[in-house]
Structure 1
Amino acid sequence: MSRKERVLKKRYAIFCEGDTEYNYINKMRKNQGVELVLKPINMHGGGYSSFLKQIKKEAQTNYLAKFIIVDADRIKTIPAEQENFLKLLEYCKLQNDKGNTPHFLIADNPDFEYVACLHDIEYKGQDTKSFIVNAWKFKDIAAFKSNEDVYEFLNSGSKSFRNLLDAIRKQDKLVSNKYEIKKKTFDIIIRQTDYEQDALNKRNSNIEDFFDVIDW
């Protein structure tokens, strides 16, 4: 009985900005005994500071961890967003240093569409929008982003999140979390979060932290 109860208590909060991430994780969470509480954030006009505001508002602690999943493209393309991103990073580090609920900052560089393409073994680094339209036959990028069955689509046929994980484990990361999990008590401790600005010029993601921690 106690084993079953422990599984039921695995609650994680996921803050994400886009429809694609939301739809992906929404379907994921229906697949097994991990409780993923989705917190979609509308960033239009607000940028990373919207994330920070929302996370501060949602300060309840009955989660094993919180995942903050952001697209990194804004850091390079929108003035002042680098500074806002660093404030978000510092807030997450502060929570981790204080021993509060672990805050995993996940940066998809440039965006979640890149992460999606890496599910496909046929993807060889070409332009993501062209690949989604030409190889996957979506009418346009908007049709892909609004597809509620994106999780099933990206994990069908030869496409799989395992392909994604194989591809990104070798990358230089924009953000990297050094953490440990005590399996018996399921305590998660983030020792360090690093930001490597040079990695802005390379496509990368540390979303494996999310898959690894929830033990997908």
Structure 2
Amino acid sequence: MSRKKRVLQKRFVIFCEGDTEYNYIDKMRKKQGVELVLKPINMHGGGYSNFLQKIKTESQSNYLAKFIVVDADRLATVQGELEAFKKLLEYCRIQNAKGNTPHFIIMDNPDFEYVACLHSPDYHGQDSHKYIQSVLGFKNIASFKGNTDIYNYLNSGELSYQTMLDTLCGKEKLLFNI
């Protein structure tokens, strides 16, 4: 009697800034049937340097790639974050040059709220917080961020991640992962 063959699953790890991003990616993973390992990192108090420490301590094995999802708004608004981000970026570039597990930084510019608005075909750059309240129908930003079913909400009716992707394809990129 032979042993069952073990099938290795393709696994990616995603480090994300907060609960909203985590909830979105987690539901997307389940809908798309992709094997992802989510590592939510709360940046409050630690910023980009906290991301760097967590990424360095995470095992290099068993992942095809590491994705780091961060908001860009901290670069200009929080003292010391530009330097911390440069260190994070340099670490990722070094890992990629070594041929280790590829590291990709995905920046929400300026933040996830903006990216959420891009799911709407009627969004044309208005203030994202006001749009979330007046058009998407959330009482306030806290209720938006607290929605654990945010992926399904942003992919219902006329809202779609495909609309967001189509819009982003035509935009200038803030960062290239090379």
**Structure 1 unaligned blocks of 5 or more:** 178-191, 193-216
Contact 2:71 2:112 in 1 (8 A): yes
Inter-partner Cα distance in structure 1 for 2:123 and 2:32: 28
Counterpart residue type for residue 113 of structure 2: E
Larger of the two Rg values belongs to structure: 2
Give 1:88's aligned residue: 88
How far apart are the structure 1 equivalents of 2:93 and 2:60? 17
Asked whether the equivalents of residues 60 and 100 of structure 2 are also in contact (C-alpha less than 8 Å), the reply is no
Q: State the aligned residue count.
A: 173
* Percent of aligned positions that are identical: 64
Residues in 2 aligned to 1:28 and 1:83: alpha-carbon distance in whole angstroms: 32
> Residues 117-196 of structure 1 correspond to what in structure 2 (within 5 A)?
117-177=117-177, 192=178
| Match of residue 97 from structure 2 | 97
Deviation readout 1:117-151 (Å, 9 max, x if unpaired): 00010111100000000001111000000101100
Q: CA deviation at 1:30?
A: 1.1
- 2:67–2:106 contact (8 Å) kept in structure 1: yes
Identify, as 1 or 2, the structure richer in strand: 1
Deviates more, 1:24-33 or 1:90-99: 24-33
Paired residue type of 1:146: G
Report the equivalent of 2:70. Answer: 70
Q: Give the C-alpha shift of residue 32 in structure 1.
A: 3.5
CA distance in 2, matches of 1:73, 1:168: 17
Q: CA deviation at 1:176?
A: 1.5
Q: Give unmatched runs, 5+ long, in structure 2.
A: 1-5
CA distance in 1, matches of 2:33, 2:89: 30
> What is the aligned-residue RMSD (CA, Å)?
1.3
**What's the counterpart of residue 79 of structure 1?**
79
* 3-state SS of paired residue (1:138): coil
C-alpha distance in 1 between matches for 2:34 and 2:81: 33
Which position in structure 2 is the counterpart of 1:18?
18
**Pair 83,40 (structure 1): closer, same or farther in 2 beyond 3 Å:** same
Q: 2: CA distance between counterparts of 1:73 and 1:59?
A: 29
Instruction: Report the TM-score when normalising by structure 1.
Output: 0.77
Aligned to 1:28: 28
Q: Indicate the residue corresponding to 1:47 in structure 2.
A: 47
Match of 1:182 in 2: none
How far off is 1:10 after superposition?
A: 1.8
